[in-house]
Each structure stands twice: as C-alpha cells, then as structure tokens.
C-alpha cells in the first residue's frame, strides 16, 4: 500500500500540538518544498489546520469504520434512508471481454446485479444522496448489461446523474477490439440530487452562500489516476486511494456515512476516514476482512460478523 504524501505528512505529525512548514520539509527531504507545501494547502480543512503563518496542526477526527464480514447484497441490517453515499465496485466477471492475453480473472465471488440489489441500495440511501458504481467501460459484450443496470436504478428512483471515466494514467490494456485504459464511474442520485454545488453568481450577488442541485463542484471530464502498482496492492482489484478520495469529495460532506458493500481491500474505508467520513464496509471473504482490519488498524474499527 502506497500512502499519499499528504497522508505521510499527516501520520508524521499526528498527535503533535503543531508543526511548522520547515519541519514538514525536513521530514520529506526527498520531495521539493513546493510539493510538500502544496499537499498541505490542498488538505487544509481536511487533514490540516493552519494555526498561523507557517504553523499547522493535524485534524484528528472521531470518525469510525464498521467492517462486516458477510453478504453485501443483504443490507437488511441497515436502516432505511440512513446512508449518505454508496461507493462500490461491482464484483462482476466478464470472461468474454477479458479473454486472451495474460488477463487475470477475478479470484473472488462474482455475480450480476438484480433489480433487488438496486431496491436495497435505494432503500438505505438518504433522499438526494449519491450512489456511485465503479463499472467496466462499455464494450460489445457488456453494453446490454450496463444499460440494464441503469434501468434497474431508474425503477428504484435512482436517477442517472452522470458518468465520468476513470482514466488509468498511462496504463493501457490491449485485449479485445480496442486498447483501453478506462473504467466508468457511474453516479446516480436518489430522487433529485441534493444541493452541494455552490451557486457562485448568486452567492456573489447576495453575499450569502447559495447552492444548486448537484455534486460538490462540477464533475471533471475524467478522473486521471494511475492504478495501484502491483507491489503495493493487497487486493487483485484494488482501487487507488486518491480516486476514492476524489470521488468522495464530490458527493459527501465531513461526518457523513459512506457504504461500500463489496469492500475488497477496504480502500473506500481508508478514503472515508482520511476525509473525516464514517464508513460501513461489507466483505464476503474473511481473508480480505483481515487485510482491511490491518489496513485500518490505526483508526476506530468495529468488527461484525454477519450470519449469511
Ligand atoms: C471488485 S472487488 C472490490 C475491490 C475494492 N473496490 C477495492 O478497491 O479494493 C469485489 C469484492 O467484493 C467481494 N464480494 C463478492 N461478492 C460479495 C458479496 N456478496 N458480499 C460482499 N462482498 C462480496 C469480493 O470478495 C471482492 O473482494
């Protein structure tokens, strides 16, 4: 697991009453000063607080993560309208598209979503909040299924909000008909999207903050984030931490509750805690649950084993 520079700085000064920019430079003397400073500035209000010129402190929250070992398709233990965001990566096997080359097939349980899955997601999500599904890029083998998912979502009141590609840096896979290096981040809102988008014009005119329906800021054309390098991966399909953090910043606020019902490496848990969000992770395989516990051991964790 490779920690972001911001996280390294955070861990280094966690618990200290304060730290100076000079100390941060010294602790990261392999990095240019501007880079260290930029990572601190980018994370003001999230990981760091500015006390006075050149002096900062880490922000340590009381957020918690619950890890459940069990079936993430059964959400019956979660109350109606209690979740602020679902961010999940569908365990779906596409033997046809992955055929050829040296593609590794999923070594975990895979399935196709049913209408019931979307009903449950819609039930636990709060009104206006976002469901984010990480899905394979569309191709000749999966386009009908991907369309079917959007239909299921619609039937359950989960409205198509936006689809943003995840461009995997310079990585390129050359299987199938088209070389590819993207997946899709599909975003739905439960009913009309809540108002997270600052209305700059109205705010300027009135002097009072006004918000429009939609995510916290205009979504980018794509998220450009390299995949986790094999040597740092603890799970075959691990999403990059930065990608999860970027997504969560658009769709949630501090203190809210994020659900990932197919948790894998638990990266969504780490991203949530880093951003001071609470998190519920569900994972079927005990070996993955153990890895998640190790990964998040520095933070509050409640471990629950579900009866499947
Ligand atoms: C695509 S991976 C998720 C990877 C994860 N997003 C990450 O970045 O590490 C899917 C995960 O879902 C788990 N899984 C499969 N079926 C499940 C189920 N019914 N309930 C909970 N977890 C399940 C698999 O064991 C696998 O770890």
Give 141's contacts (C-beta < 8 A, 6+ positions apart): 94, 96, 97
- Hunting for tokens 């569900």 — which residue is that? 282
Task: List the CATH number of the domain containing 242.
Answer: 3.40.50.150
Same domain, 47 and 117: no
- Structural domains of the chain, count: 2
The total number of residues shown for the chain amounts to 308
Distance 253 CA to ligand 1 centre (A): 25
Picking from 154, 147, 73, the residue whose alpha carbon sits closest to that of residue 117 is 73
Distance CA 176, CA 174 (A): 7
Same domain, 126 and 11: no
Same domain, 204 and 294: yes
Same domain, 269 and 136: yes
pLDDT reported for residue 99: 56
pLDDT reported for residue 162: 98
Per residue in 71-85, pLDDT tens? 999 999 999 999 999
> What value does the CA radius of gyration of the chain take, rounded to a whole number of Å?
20
Same domain, 27 and 84: no
- Domain end marker among 13, 35, 58: 58
pLDDT reported for residue 97: 63
- Dihedral sign, Cα of residue 249, residue 241, residue 134, residue 305: negative
* Backbone phi, psi, residue 22, to 5°: -60, -40
* Backbone phi, psi, residue 289, to 5°: -60, -40
Distance CA 98, CA 109 (A): 16
Look at ligand 1, atom 13, and give the residue with the nearest C-alpha.
262
Q: Which domain holds residue 37?
A: 5-58
Same domain, 32 and 72: no
pLDDT reported for residue 96: 64
Distance 79 CA to ligand 1 centre (A): 22
pLDDT reported for residue 208: 87
Same domain, 29 and 88: no
Low-confidence ranges of the chain (pLDDT < 70): 1-3, 95-105, 175-176, 298-308
Distance 186 CA to ligand 1 centre (A): 17
Q: From the alpha carbon of 264, which atom of ligand 1 is closest? A: 27
Q: From the alpha carbon of 237, which atom of ligand 1 is closest? A: 4
Q: Which residues form ligand 1's pocket by a CB distance below 6 Å?
A: 71-73, 89, 91, 108-109, 235, 237-239, 262, 264-265, 267, 282-285, 288
pLDDT reported for residue 110: 87
Same domain, 83 and 151: yes
Same domain, 109 and 13: no
């Amino acid at each position: 697991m490779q920690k972001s520079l911001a996280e390294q700085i955070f861990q280094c000064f966690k618990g200290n009453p304060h730290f100076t920019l000079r100390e941060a430079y010294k602790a990261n003397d392999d990095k240019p000063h501007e880079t260290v400073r930029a990572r601190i500035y980018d994370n003001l209000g999230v990981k760091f607080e500015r006390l006075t010129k050149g002096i900062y402190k880490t922000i340590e929250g009381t957020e918690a993560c619950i890890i459940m070992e069990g079936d993430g398709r059964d959400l019956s233990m979660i109350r109606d309208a209690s979740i602020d965001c679902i961010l999940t990566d569908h365990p779906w096997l596409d033997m046809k598209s992955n055929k050829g080359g040296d593609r590794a097939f999923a070594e975990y349980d895979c399935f196709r979503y049913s209408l019931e899955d979307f009903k449950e997601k819609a039930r636990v999500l709060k009104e206006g909040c976002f469901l984010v599904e990480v899905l394979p890029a569309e191709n000749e083998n999966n386009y009908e299924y991907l369309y079917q998912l959007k239909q299921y979502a619609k039937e359950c009141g989960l409205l198509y909000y936006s689809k943003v590609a995840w461009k995997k840096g310079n990585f390129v896979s050359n299987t199938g008909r088209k070389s590819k290096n993207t997946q899709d981040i599909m975003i739905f809102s439960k009913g009309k999207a809540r108002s997270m988008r600052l209305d700059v014009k109205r705010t300027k005119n009135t002097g009072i903050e006004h918000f429009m329906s939609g995510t916290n800021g205009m979504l980018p054309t794509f998220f450009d984030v390299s995949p986790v390098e094999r040597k740092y991966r603890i799970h075959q399909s691990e999403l990059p931490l930065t990608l999860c953090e970027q997504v969560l910043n658009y769709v949630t606020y501090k203190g809210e509750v994020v659900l990932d019902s197919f948790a894998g490496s638990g990266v969504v848990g780490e991203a949530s805690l880093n951003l001071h969000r609470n998190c519920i992770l569900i994972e079927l395989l005990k070996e993955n649950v153990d890895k998640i516990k190790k990964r998040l051991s520095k933070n509050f964790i409640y471990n629950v084993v579900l009866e499947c």
